[in-house]
Structure 1
Amino acid sequence: MELVKQTRAHKARLDLNAAQVAVLDGQAHTARTLWNLLHEYFTFRQGRFARLKECDAAIRAARHEIDWMGQLPAQAAQAVLKTYRQAWANFFNPDHPAQRPTFKGRLRSRLTVDVPQARDLQIKRINRRWGTVNLPKAGRVRFRWTKDLPGLTKGGPAGRITGARLVKEADGWHIVFRAERHVPAPARHLGPQVGIDQGITVALALSDATMREHGPWLTSGQREHLRRLEKKSARQRRTRPPGRLTSKRLARTYNQIAKARATAKRRAVDWQHQTTTELADTFSVIKVEDLKIKNMVRSARGTIENPGRNVAHKAGLNRSIAGEAWDRTVTLLEYKTRDRGGQVVKVPAPGTSQTCHQCGHRDAANRDKTRFACLNPDCGWVGHADTNAAININNADGTPVSGRGDLGATRSAKRQPPRAA
């Protein structure tokens, strides 16, 4: 039986005391500073990039000369160098969407610390709900056990943990385990084909005339609490003199806003996981639009010479698009369909919502919000606009981005290596 390597990440919440939080905060800020020092050293070397050996020697010298650099474990410091070099490799790869590496700001960067070697973790399960893990310089820490980890549970999945990364979010520190397993190659999925139109009024409309919808991510009381916190932060910003650092009260308000938004995000991700799993189990080929989301959420503010129109309306639309996280839905579908022997196909987006799937007549006036009425006198089809768009997506030809079969490819088309001339 053919086996394939499967790499997955498993995220768990850490249960830390105040001293351990301070240790991890110090390590994360040291790692961020080390990134900035590497960026300065790497890019300002008399007109040439520094070599890997030079960067490694500079890190070793800095750890001996600067006391606070010792907060970061040596292996985590080497992981920063590896990540930084990979960022440049991604930037120079013409098929990779990565941007040029830049300095990391203290308030705008995500706090992370790498634990690259699994042997340092010493993971152990202590009961049904909790496990323990060893974190360098922080000691033994409990984490929430919500899923069996490969190679650590009797009768559980076979495999191993290859490392971890510590990530700080609005609700505290989390650990992301890197898990590796060898599983049988999936057989070809024999389910039907479907097209999916992603929207705001209807989250997912399928070409079989069904829909996948969700309610608000926050309750009415939570939304009102968030609204009051945002008004409070606005008042606190108005009373702060220009150039003054953020006060502790304003920082506390920002933290409360971040926690409320993190709750909404967790619920959104949970719904996306459940929905994409159901779709990957049911359908063999899933077609979606190849959306350029970065262009879609571009501000309409314009310039002083050419001011934009309907700026507030466009800003609200951008927030709604960002809240649906369409790109994350497609990413989840890609690896889940690949694991089940199916595939995801991206089709061109223009015209799918304005074209009648019955007769092919294309006119912007065909659609009126969620109602589609074909203006072709020989057709006259009437139905839900999102269902019509999903049928057009299902009928279109596109580029497979994941899965197996004659149409499939194992990686995104834009991440394929360039062909030889």
Structure 2
Amino acid sequence: MDGQAHAARALWNCLHDWWSMLPKEKRCLAAADAAIRQARKEIDWLGMLPAQAAQAVLKTYFQAWRNCWDGRVGAPTFKVRNRTVMSVDIPQGRDLNITRVHRRWGMVNIPKVGRVRFRWTKELPVGKRARGDDRITGARLVKDALGWHISFRVQILEAGPEPHTGPDVGIDAGVNLPLALSDGNHQDHGRPPRLADGTADQGKWLNPPEKAKLLGLERRAARRKQHRGRGEKTSRRLQHTYDQIKQLRAKATRRAVDWQHKTTTYIAERYSIVVVEQLHIKSMVKSARGTIEEPGHNVVQKSGLNRSISQEAWGRTVTMLAYKTARQGGALHKVPAPGTSLRCSACGSTTPGSRKDQATFVCKNPDCGWSGNADWNAARNILHLYRRGHALVPAAGRAVVRRPRGVKPATAR
């Protein structure tokens, strides 16, 4: 499977190089398909990749250009070996021949690999569980630091959801409190507080023994890196230490995504209208270092805050809420973000000095004096903006409720 994944990455790079050098009038799907067939005959290691998987690389590449032309993403680029997720696509479900061994394990046939055992974590339309037009249309193999995983593409015919009858809720995404809800039903993953110097805790999803192990591995990698000369190849011991660090970080990422899936599913099932802020996260995590002429201030504290924002993955949470609320018959709306954390949710006034610190809000209006959690106050303001008709209209031609590429459902190991 490693060989197939490297062959798929190399095929993408060759296809991108071929596309860039070919004149525009000769670029077409048929010419690309003929070039791939000829390359698989002449290059032995490209033949390691199954023909259907090679066709899937071609379709994915053309779809990447369509997304670029539509303005959704940038132009496709070369896939670097060390920074590319290893993956292989199996586009035809009839080649899988899935059988269930017992409750926890199943067997699947992977082309040019053979029968492979996988962990059965979700019901699949196989055997007696296949109803009507329900079927498996394909699969995708993905490798991370913890090993290979398989995700099945399943086609299931379901009736449209009934309109959700639950209440409305506003959600404010924060650092100390991950998701603050306007009705007080806050969602917290139990992460420890930030460190004394203002930086974020790197191992917030790891238990104390795992945190100690991660710290020891990072120190070991730093010591071994000192003995490597400039331009020298990484030693096997140092690479092994890097692999161990990646495994711990991948475990933390898996736990974070699991918490996001469970929390967003709970919110989508309970509430009909979910309102969030329109956040520009890329601008929020900019460095405060500044330039030589105008150096920045509180660079270390801002760096820790940027790291905490990135680790919370607010954009992924909003993406999950978008398609899960639509699946439950609800809807997700966005409102402008400026002023939601500084305005009092009780009287509606913005008084200087009301935001005492990161966690407390005390209204300085003499006629009000409301006090409470700052994130809860912002969540109430977000819902109030939606009820007053300040919801943002999505851009034309873009799907709002579709689960986009990169956000996957629960996968089987």
Q: Same fold (TM over 0.5)?
A: yes
**Cα displacement string for residues 22-81 of structure 1 (whole angstroms, at most 9, x for unaligned residues):** xx1111011111111111110122466722222111111111111111111111111111
- Which residue is equivalent to 1:58? 35
2:11 to 24, 34, 55: 34
- Which residue is equivalent to 2:362? 373
**Cα displacement string for residues 125-149 of structure 1 (whole angstroms, at most 9, x for unaligned residues):** 1111111100011100011011111
2:382 to 383, 386, 393: 393
- Which residue is equivalent to 1:201? 176
Q: Is the 8 A contact 2:351 2:365 kept in 1?
A: no
- Once the two structures are superposed, the pairs formed by residues 208-247 of structure 1 within 5 Å of their partners are 208-216=183-191, 217-247=205-235
Q: 1:400 Cα shift? A: 6.6
SS in 1 for 2:349: coil
- Which residue is equivalent to 1:15? none
Residue 185 of structure 1 aligns to which amino acid in structure 2?
Answer: G
- Once the two structures are superposed, the pairs formed by residues 331-370 of structure 1 within 5 Å of their partners are 331-363=319-351, 365-368=353-356, 369-370=358-359
Task: State how far apart, in whole Å, the 1-side matches of 2:305 and 2:131 are.
Answer: 45
Q: 1:364 Cα shift? A: 5.4
Task: State how far apart, in whole Å, the 2-side matches of 1:364 and 1:233 are.
Answer: 48
Task: State how far apart, in whole Å, the 2-side matches of 1:388 and 1:201 are.
Answer: 14
Q: 1:159 Cα shift? A: 1.4
SS in 2 for 1:212: coil
- Of 351-360 and 192-201, deviating more is 351-360
Q: Is the 8 A contact 1:189 1:341 kept in 2?
A: yes
**Cα displacement string for residues 190-228 of structure 1 (whole angstroms, at most 9, x for unaligned residues):** 110000111110111111122111123111121121122
- Which residue is equivalent to 2:372? 383
- Of 66-75 and 361-370, deviating more is 361-370
1:169 aligns with 2:144: yes
SS in 2 for 1:187: coil
Structure with the largest fraction of strand:
1
SS in 2 for 1:182: coil
Task: State how far apart, in whole Å, the 2-side matches of 1:246 and 1:364 are.
Answer: 55
SS in 2 for 1:176: strand
Going from structure 1 to structure 2, the CA distance change for 1:124 and 1:108 (only over 3 Å counts) comes to same
- Of 303-312 and 193-202, deviating more is 303-312
Uncovered stretches (5+) of structure 2, i.e. residues with no partner: 192-204, 404-413
Q: 1:152 Cα shift? A: 4.1
- Of 104-113 and 237-246, deviating more is 237-246
- Which residue is equivalent to 1:74? 51
1:250 aligns with 2:238: yes
- Which residue is equivalent to 1:295? 283
Residue 186 of structure 1 aligns to which amino acid in structure 2?
Answer: P
- Once the two structures are superposed, the pairs formed by residues 65-144 of structure 1 within 5 Å of their partners are 65-94=42-71, 96=72, 98-144=73-119
SS in 1 for 2:107: strand
1:327 to 301, 310, 315: 315
Going from structure 1 to structure 2, the CA distance change for 1:141 and 1:319 (only over 3 Å counts) comes to same
Q: Is the 8 A contact 2:217 2:241 kept in 1?
A: yes
- Which residue is equivalent to 2:409? none
Q: 1:237 Cα shift? A: 2.1
1:281 aligns with 2:269: yes
SS in 2 for 1:149: coil
Going from structure 1 to structure 2, the CA distance change for 1:123 and 1:63 (only over 3 Å counts) comes to same
Q: 1:349 Cα shift? A: 1.1
Q: How high is the TM-score relative to the length of structure 2?
A: 0.88
Residue 38 of structure 2 aligns to which amino acid in structure 1?
Answer: A
SS in 2 for 1:69: helix
Task: State how far apart, in whole Å, the 1-side matches of 2:127 and 2:363 are.
Answer: 59
Task: State how far apart, in whole Å, the 2-side matches of 1:56 and 1:225 are.
Answer: 49
- Of 389-398 and 245-254, deviating more is 245-254
**Cα displacement string for residues 151-173 of structure 1 (whole angstroms, at most 9, x for unaligned residues):** 44538897111111100011000
- Of 121-130 and 150-159, deviating more is 150-159
Task: State how far apart, in whole Å, the 2-side matches of 1:363 and 1:67 are.
Answer: 71
Going from structure 1 to structure 2, the CA distance change for 1:44 and 1:332 (only over 3 Å counts) comes to same
Going from structure 1 to structure 2, the CA distance change for 1:118 and 1:364 (only over 3 Å counts) comes to farther
**Cα displacement string for residues 227-282 of structure 1 (whole angstroms, at most 9, x for unaligned residues):** 22122222222221111122211211111111111111111122112211211111
Q: How many residues align?
A: 384
Uncovered stretches (5+) of structure 1, i.e. residues with no partner: 1-23, 402-408, 416-421
SS in 2 for 1:150: coil
Q: Is the 8 A contact 2:99 2:126 kept in 1?
A: no
- Which residue is equivalent to 1:272? 260
Residue 369 of structure 2 aligns to which amino acid in structure 1?
Answer: G
Task: State how far apart, in whole Å, the 1-side matches of 2:287 and 2:127 are.
Answer: 48
Q: Is the 8 A contact 1:149 1:157 kept in 2?
A: no
Task: State how far apart, in whole Å, the 1-side matches of 2:24 and 2:294 are.
Answer: 39
